[in-house]
Amino acid sequence: MKLLEEKWLEDLQKLDIVFQPIVSIQDGRLYGVEALLRGVQEIGYASIADFFNRAYCDNVLYTLDLALREKVIQKFTTLKDYNRIKLFINLDNRLFEMPNFSAGNTQKLLKRYHLNKEMVCFELSEQHAISNITMFEEVLKHYKSESYSIAVDDFGVGVSGYQMLYRSTPEFIKIDRFFIDTIFADTKKKILVQSIVQLATQLGIVVIAEGIEDAKELEVCHTLGCHLVQGYYIQKPQYDTGAILEYYDHIPTIKKGSFIKNRLQRPSPFLPCIASNILVE
């Protein structure tokens, strides 16, 4: 494995991870958290995308990504009951283009921290699929073949979403914030989100509505059948893992639906999940 140069190692030490909860829309129970990268502006980058683009140009994207995975896992293990939690790790499709890409490195990391594959779900952004759908599908198939779960972020903003669902059905999709923003006042958004939820449910896919910022958006997402939600209305991203709660009492208790119960309660102890989206700020 190619070693990172000193500059990259110094930058890595200055970066931090924050966590934002993902909760059940039915009863406010913590289902998972999304890990977000912080600190790239302090080390001289305009954005997270700029940071990863530089790593790509320097041919260290895969090496850096593995280092960030370990950073996420280290902080993940400070969460309460982390051994009952599923870890979502966001990937850049361009990893496959790196000359040192190889299989099995995540498994080595998991073994080091006494975790197993059942605790991991790799998250890919549909936005990243626009320029290279073939590469996007190759990444999906690779990690599914390695027995990891797959989540698709930013669903609905790409041009290949339904083709992707047909070819390589993910376990989770996250409806992009564009469709959630002021959905209570937009009939077209309601229709589109409802159609996405209905299709996903029929395919056995868990739907996460992201970017919930007020009670009215939450209410509509519940009415339309979304399974999980996240956003500032639930809780802002937290540096302190101890600030993540088991239940969020301001989410109204709703009659439990059969889909979320049957789809998510698999024969394993991992009931909630962690979403690690290190590429999105």
Distances (CA, A) of 217 to 29, 155, 212: 18, 18, 6
* Residue 208 pLDDT grade (very low, low, confident, very high; cuts 50, 70, 90): very high
Distances (CA, A) of 26 to 151, 191, 197, 214, 232: 21, 21, 15, 16, 18
pLDDT value at position 60? 93
pLDDT value at position 271? 43
pTM of the model: 0.85
* Residue 1 pLDDT grade (very low, low, confident, very high; cuts 50, 70, 90): low
As a whole number, the mean pLDDT across the chain is 84
Q: What is the Cα–Cα distance from 107 to 267, expressed in whole angstroms?
A: 21
Q: What is the Cα–Cα distance from 82 to 75, expressed in whole angstroms?
A: 10
* Residue 191 pLDDT grade (very low, low, confident, very high; cuts 50, 70, 90): very high
Sign of CA dihedral 33, 39, 40, 41: positive
* CA dihedral angle for residue 47, residue 50, residue 54, residue 59, rounded to 10 degrees: 110
Q: Mean per-residue pLDDT for 171-179?
A: 92
- Residue 232 has a CB neighbour count (10 Å cut-off) of 12
- Residue 248 has a CB neighbour count (10 Å cut-off) of 18
Q: Is the pLDDT of residue 256 over 50?
A: no
Q: What is the Cα–Cα distance from 198 to 176, expressed in whole angstroms?
A: 16
Q: Which CATH class is domain 6-277?
A: alpha beta
* Residue 279 pLDDT grade (very low, low, confident, very high; cuts 50, 70, 90): very low
Q: Which of 27-31, 92-96, 190-194 has the lowest mean pLDDT?
A: 92-96
